[in-house]
Structure 1
């Protein structure tokens, strides 16, 4: 059995769809952190059969929960303080995301006004679809792009 040390202060991203941990690691720029990060791939899970886990020894301030909820709202976040689980956060799809997706419509104002934020609004919660706030161009789920 594989043994990964527990963390003293930080968080654990649990219930990541198997095979997606590295994409999340890169997308959230966890490679730029100075703290310890452990990635566990294809762990056994009663709930999911197989799952990935990311453990981060560091401040919760580095995590954007809206972006993480957009990436995969089924991920759970376990917050650890002094080696003890103090809170379990359930993620949800955010109503609005900024500068995560970029509008592909060449006629959108964001393609002309380069300094404008790319803002997308949740338009279909069931299917996780977002539309550009300016031109209403629809974007699919992020996993299709990772």
Structure 2
């Protein structure tokens, strides 16, 4: 049986869709940290069958919009003195800025380099570029 120690102070990114933990690890910049980070893949889950979990032994600022975009079912647990002191449930953000890029070759964002790539969440649950209304080709960056 694999044993990953509990952390005393830090963050646990839980309920990650099985197999996507490594993508979140890189997009969140966790590979740049000097602290201990544990990525647990395909852990057994009562609700989801299997899930990924990331444990970070440090208090860092996470971009919750990026995490909510990648997987809105993720929960963030804040750990202090070995106990969960706060639980955050993520949702799809209404606006994404410079998270995904517009793929329309005629969009102003592909012509002007300094313009931010901004997408808004539509009623259909998909993102659209605010400049040209183009949907990204795929919903993951």
> What's the TM-score, normalizing by structure 1?
0.91
Paired residue for 2:40?
Answer: 40
TM-aligned CA deviation for residue 60 of structure 1: 3.4
TM-aligned CA deviation for residue 54 of structure 1: 0.4
Paired residue for 2:60?
Answer: 60
| Root-mean-square deviation (Å) | 1.2
TM-aligned CA deviation for residue 57 of structure 1: 1.1
Task: Give secondary structure in 2 for the equivalent of 1:53.
Answer: strand
Task: Give secondary structure in 2 for the equivalent of 1:22.
Answer: helix
Distance 1:112 1:10 in 2: 42
In the comparison of the two structures, how many residue pairs are matched?
140
Q: Which runs of 5+ in 2 are unaligned?
A: none
Distance 1:124 1:98 in 2: 18
Which aligned pairs between 1:57-136 and structure 2 lie closer than 5 A? 57-61=57-61, 63-124=62-123, 128-136=125-133
TM-aligned CA deviation for residue 82 of structure 1: 1.4
Paired residue for 1:141?
Answer: 139
> What's the TM-score, normalizing by structure 2?
0.94
